[in-house]
Amino acid sequence: MRMAVLRGPGNLWGKTSGWIVAALAGVAAAVAAGTLPDVIKGWLGQQQWLLTILCLGAAGVFAGINLWQQRSKGVGIVITLPRAPWRDPWNSQWTRAAIDHARRHRDSCFTVERDISGPLPEADAEARSAARRDRADTLELVRSLVTARLMELSESDPATPVSIYINAALPDAFELGTKLKFHVHRELRGLGVDPDRQRPGEITPVVPQRSESVDADFFPAVRLSSRLKEPLTKDEAAQAARLATVIEEPAFKADPDGQAVALIVHLSDNPQMVAEALLAAQQGCADTDGRKEKCRAALVIDGGPANIPETVRDFELAVRLVYATWRTWNTAHPEYASLQPRLFLAAPTSVALALGWLLGHKVRAVPNPYRKESEPCTSS
């Protein structure tokens, strides 16, 4: 386990706003120094009201600057869970970039890095079972560490801004979102949140996403709040339809005796993902608990070849589309209520965490490569 608490230097004096504050402080000091003697004299003369107002104004500027300097810029929590050994070597550049971003925008940065060992494709049943136990223990430990940090913030200042950076395999991010769902914190505000859409007392930690733009590193992607559960308005539904296509009856051979239903979510550029997921759902594959099942039905939400636009609005709209579509589909198909829902996912990590926060109490993720009952694996 690798953990660290880094306190960032902040950006108050390193950016333009620092020069503005310095200028205001200088003006306020000059006004106070230049008028205070005259105020004392002016209290006895004609200028007492004007000079008194100037003096009070200068004192107010000093007080405002002091309060602004003492405000909390919050904490960045960086979680990185590299997978070994069957994936390519994990790139540590993401972790360094996330820590740097958190230190520039937050008062401090709390990092948790823990390797999650995954079995090799040719591993036997015993090795896979041991890897699942190790993974479960690791995720529980990470949850405990993050929750402890959030509880410290809650006790010291419930309004502390918090950003949760996560780099992990999608099933791990999904399950960690499930574990963080029940953390109670009155108000966790994140970097870049639109205050007009922020509700008083709303639980809104923000999950930044690594940007693919050349002029940005991270951007606020998803706020973990009850807003994600709100039904889509007519306009929002039309906008969501441009992000992804809902396929309620995909072309795949369902198993009439299957004990699972498949939710296939494709929100990143992975052209073969939907076809591979449908094939795995048809032939049977194992979820993160090691349970192997074939699927009796499937629901596909396909974003096509384009990635989600890098805005909070679009990322949250994509998450809300998945949640609303899944609920509507379940309501329309009560005959599948007793079956195990399983998620096949290709999406940004922030979306995986948010979907775990929303659906993880019932839905189980299927790791990719999808391990079938009769074949070693299939990879995308």
pLDDT band at 46 (very low <50, low <70, confident <90, very high): low
pLDDT at 17 over 90: no
Q: Look at 257 and 23; give whichever has higher pLDDT.
A: 257
Tens digit of each residue's pLDDT (9 = 90 or more) over 104-117: 888 888 999 998 87
pLDDT band at 27 (very low <50, low <70, confident <90, very high): low
Residue type, 121: P
| R_g (Cα) of the chain, nearest Å | 26
> Looking at residue 160, what is its pLDDT?
77
pLDDT at 94 over 50: yes
pLDDT band at 327 (very low <50, low <70, confident <90, very high): very high
Backbone phi, then psi, for 147, in 5-degree steps?
-65, -40
CA 61 to chain centre: 37
Distance (Å) of CA 166 to CA 170, 206, 278, 295, 353: 10, 11, 28, 30, 8
Provide the terminal-to-terminal Cα distance of the chain, rounded to the nearest Å. Answer: 30
pLDDT at 210 over 70: yes
The 3-state secondary structure of the chain reads: CEEEEEECCCCCCCCHHHHHHHHHHHHHHHHHHHHHHHHHHHCCCCCHHHHHHHHHHHHHHHHHHHHHHHCCCCEEEEEEECEECCCCCCCCHHHHHHHHHHHHHCCEEEEEECCEECCCCCCCHHHHHHHHHHHHHHHHHHHHHHHHHHHHHHHHCCCCCEEEEEEECHHHHHHHHHHHCCCCCCCCCCCCCCHHHCCCCCCCCEEEEECCCCCCCEEEEEECCHHHHCCCCHHHHHHHHHHCEEECCCCCCCCCCCCEEEEEEECCCCCCHHHHHHHHHHHCEECCCCCEECEEEEEEEECCCCCCCCCHHHHHHHHHHHHHHHHHHHHHCHHHCCCEEEEEEECCHHHHHHHHHHHCCCCEECCCCECECCCCCECC
> Looking at residue 37, what is its pLDDT?
56
Q: How far apart are CA 62 and CA 28, in angstroms?
A: 7
> Looking at residue 65, what is its pLDDT?
60
pLDDT band at 208 (very low <50, low <70, confident <90, very high): very high
Q: How far apart are CA 260 and CA 373, in angstroms?
A: 14
pLDDT band at 241 (very low <50, low <70, confident <90, very high): very high
Q: How far apart are CA 279 and CA 332, in angstroms?
A: 24
Instruction: Quote the Cα angle for 282-283-289, to 5°.
Output: 100
Name the range with the highest mean pLDDT among 28-32, 120-124, 142-146: 142-146
> Looking at residue 86, what is its pLDDT?
56
> Looking at residue 173, what is its pLDDT?
95
CB atoms within 10 A of CB 376: 12
Distance (Å) of CA 144 to CA 114, 137, 178: 13, 11, 13
> Looking at residue 67, what is its pLDDT?
55
> Looking at residue 376, what is its pLDDT?
41
Q: How far apart are CA 360 and CA 358, in angstroms?
A: 6
Q: How far apart are CA 308 and CA 315, in angstroms?
A: 7
pTM of the model as a whole:
0.78
> Looking at residue 107, what is its pLDDT?
82
Q: Look at 365 and 189; give whichever has higher pLDDT.
A: 365
Lowest mean pLDDT among 69-83, 212-226, 338-352, 355-369: 69-83
Tens digit of each residue's pLDDT (9 = 90 or more) over 150-169: 888 777 776 778 889 999 99
Backbone phi, then psi, for 124, in 5-degree steps?
-85, 180
Tens digit of each residue's pLDDT (9 = 90 or more) over 47-61: 556 666 766 776 676
Tens digit of each residue's pLDDT (9 = 90 or more) over 243-299: 999 999 998 888 999 999 999 999 998 889 999 999 999 999 999 998 999 999 999
Mean pLDDT of 127-136: 89
| 157, two tokens | 């200042």
Q: How far apart are CA 278 and CA 299, in angstroms?
A: 10
pLDDT band at 378 (very low <50, low <70, confident <90, very high): very low
Per-chain mean pLDDT for the chain: 79
- 246 close to 301: Cβ distance less than 8 angstroms: yes
> Looking at residue 24, what is its pLDDT?
58
